[in-house]
């Protein structure tokens, strides 16, 4: 199943999101995010990531937990609880090796999305969801936490417009009109304000199947 994008207009060039299935979108997000994180691999990852209370290293570990967790939910398909498998990265490993761990986690989720039938559903606290929903959640996790980390490391990066448009259409029906998809995604996830819209303090996506 591929997403139908109804995102707001943007000056950024938007690829044809409908042409690519969700596993391909997830793979593209992984490649883009991990490429920029590798650029900062030799910096101080004990710094706080963006405005989070976690260090860059702890944020990377959170990312591994989320990606593997979404894969596990799609495989186990519980109806009312989280799974019992928790993933973590070796905090003593060098940063490039930990980034490799994120690629492994993202690959597991990509495979689970690809192999899950369209009618399958699994529990999530923000809405019972399907494979496309969990793929979009994985992309959001990769995008916003890469943004958090790159801010701390002094790297200039924003989520790609096409990927942002896809996840906005799938997870954020309240996304404001009239803004570029990258900025809208960062606003929806509480990362920045938009003109006329203060930064969100509390937020969540809607993973329910629509």
Q: What is the DSSP string of 54-100?
A: SBHHHHHHHHHHHHHHHHHHHHH--SSS--S------TTS-HHHHHH
- For the segment 155-171, the average pLDDT, to the nearest whole number, is 97
71: left (phi over 0), alpha (psi -120 to 50) or beta: alpha
How confident is the prediction for the chain on average, in pLDDT? 90
pLDDT tens-digit readout, 121-150: 999 999 999 999 999 999 999 999 999 999
Domains of the chain: 19-188 (1.20.120)
CB contact at 8 A, 60 and 89: yes
Taking a C-beta distance cutoff of 8 angstroms, is the pair 137, 207 a contact?
yes
The answer, as to whether pTM is greater than 0.85, is yes
């Amino acid at each position: 199943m591929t997403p139908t994008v109804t995102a707001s207009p943007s000056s950024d060039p938007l690829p044809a999101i409908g042409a690519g299935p969700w596993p391909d979108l997830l793979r593209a997000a992984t490649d883009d995010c991990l490429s920029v994180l590798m650029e900062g691999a030799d910096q101080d990852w004990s710094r706080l990531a963006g405005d989070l209370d976690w260090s860059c290293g702890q944020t990377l570990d959170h990312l591994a937990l989320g990606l593997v967790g979404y894969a596990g939910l799609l495989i186990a398909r519980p109806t009312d609880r989280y799974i019992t498998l928790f993933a973590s990265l070796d905090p003593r490993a060098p940063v490039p090796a930990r980034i490799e761990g994120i690629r492994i986690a993202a690959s597991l989720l990509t495979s689970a999305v690809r192999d899950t039938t369209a009618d399958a559903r699994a529990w999530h606290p923000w809405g019972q969801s399907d494979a496309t929903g969990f793929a979009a959640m994985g992309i959001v996790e990769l995008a916003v936490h890469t943004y958090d980390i790159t801010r701390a490391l002094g790297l200039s990066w924003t989520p790609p417009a096409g990927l942002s448009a896809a996840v906005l259409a799938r997870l954020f029906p309240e996304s404001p009109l009239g803004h570029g998809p990258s900025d809208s995604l960062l606003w929806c996830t509480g990362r920045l304000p938009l003109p006329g819209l203060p930064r969100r303090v509390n937020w969540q996506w809607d993973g329910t199947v629509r």
